[in-house]
Amino acid sequence: MEHLPIISEYLLSSDERDCKIINNLEREYLIKRNPILINYLFNKNGNDSLFKYIDQNKLLDLYPEYTTIYGPYIDYNSDEQILILYIKNKREIKLKTIYFKRAIEEIRLGYKLSDVLDISKYQKLLEMLSSYVIVNPKCVRVYYTPYVFNEEEKRKIFELYPETKIIYKPSYSKTNNSIKVRLSNNIKIDITLVRLLYEIHITKKRLTLDEKVIFKNGKTTDIRLENLELINLIEENNKAKKEAIEKYGLDVDKLLELYSPLGFNKFTYISQFPIEYKENSGRRYIILAKNGLNIRHTILLSRALMEVKEDRILDEYLETVDHIDRNNQNDNINNLRIIAKNIHSLEDSVFIEVDPVNCPVCDNLFIPNRRQRTMSKINKLGIFCSYLCSMKAKKLYNFNNLKSVTHKDLIYRYYVLDKTDLNKKKIIYLKAKTRREAFKELDQLINK
């Protein structure tokens, strides 16, 4: 079963200038591989507008209660193209949405399809219209609807996974560049589409966690069964377990004892978060799994080390593991400590300190409060120590006898708390002169 990338025209907004269309890159490839599809997508004049190609009169004949057709647009709930049928008269305003691929099929057949539709009869059409790309000059959006399970495949899935009752539509995951399917009832199971297809069509049974389905030609969009291959991960898992013990000093057996009451009794692998995870980029994590089930649990390596050291599972909502040197990639056991989450957020916060200034009216020293330092006070008369001085300032200003204090005269100093001081009295001053620079400098301290 072959899925081809189809590049077509869809409007993301009412202004056509917001959407630039790329449709000539694969025109020759599509004509060679799918000549029938070209009859749907392109007319003889070479105009690539799907909306102009639709015979609106024929479609309105099938829906006589409607008078106008708008679209195609993107339905963000289903990520598919839709048409909107519209009628407006003195008595009513009525709208009806219809999938674009359904409208094409109804125009071709010449009659309305039943609402209860055997989707397997139109599987080839769904495959040809399986994925599409929209290129916007402001942003690039990729929508995938790569596969539709027929009734026979759904029945096999429920037989292999009796603990689930709902099959969600396959969705594209950017982080690992794969298409995943979620099975859900009381528990949620995320499984790759190719693994699920391999189970229901080839092995006829659930794969173990030591088995993985890969692509022979390396193309993750080519999900034909002949392109799939099964490999064994026992050697890789044993290598990862050995690495966790020797390189990071993690007692894997003791960790599995802690999580065995929760059902997680298998150590799979240790890896690093990719750059897409901004907060945890580069941090190492561990995957535990349940034997015989595709249910996994992710633990940060730093958390696993401290749980083994304390011989208990940390509270998910109250406790966290902190890096003393603020480098979250330094997982040395001497650099880790268990603290409350509220203290952890306090230590990673940026505080501000303002030098005292003289009041321009009474000449007394005072520290401007937060309300006096807000941006709303810019270009105002000045900052004063009290309401009484601000009232006197109006009269003095009229006689040009007032030297006001403005925001430019304030001196700010930013600092963070020293983590090595248990009393939280020592502070570390930052070099930043603005609030934005202070947060950037703190990020450099955390991710150095």
Closest C-alpha to 67, from 93, 104, 105:
93
115-124 pLDDT tens trace: 543 444 444 4
Tell whether the model's pLDDT for residue 90 goes beyond 60. Answer: no
- Contacts of 107-111 with C-beta under 8 Å, sequence gap 24+, read 107/54, 107/55, 107/58, 107/59, 107/62, 110/58, 111/62
Pick the most confident of 179-183, 279-283, 307-311. Answer: 307-311
At residue 49, what is the residue type? Answer: S
> How far is Cα of residue 359 from the mean position of the Cα atoms in its chain?
51
What count of other Cβ atoms lies within 10 Å of the Cβ of residue 209? 20
Cα Rg for the chain, rounded, in angstroms?
A: 32
Q: Count CB-CB contacts under 10 A for residue 161.
A: 19
Token digits of residue 315? 């509270």
- Please tell me the predicted confidence (pLDDT) of residue 273: 64
- What domains appear along the chain, each with residue ranges and CATH number? 5-142 (no CATH), 151-232 (no CATH), 234-337 (3.90.75), 351-446 (no CATH)
Q: How much of the chain, in percent, has pLDDT values that exceed 90?
A: 0
Q: Is the pLDDT of residue 329 over 50?
A: yes
pLDDT tens digits, one per residue of 231-267: 777 777 777 777 778 777 888 888 888 888 887 877 7
- Residue type present at position 95: L
370 or 199, higher pLDDT: 199
pLDDT at res. 24? 41
Cα–Cα dist 270/268, whole Å: 7
Q: How many CB atoms lie within 10 A of CB 8?
A: 20
Tell which residue, 318, 381, 390, 341, has the closest CA to residue 361. Answer: 390
Q: What is the largest CA-CA distance in the chain?
A: 93
pLDDT beyond 70 at 343 = yes
Closest CA to 197 of 150, 129, 127: 150
Q: Summarize the confidence of residues 153-164 as an average pLDDT.
A: 86
The rounded distance, in Å, linking the Cα atoms of 321 and 234 is 31
Place of tokens 């941090």: 283
What residues pair up with 212 in beta bridges, in sequence order? 231
pLDDT, tens digit, for every residue of 204-227?
888 877 777 888 877 666 677 777
Quote the pTM value: 0.51
Three-state DSSP at 287 gives strand
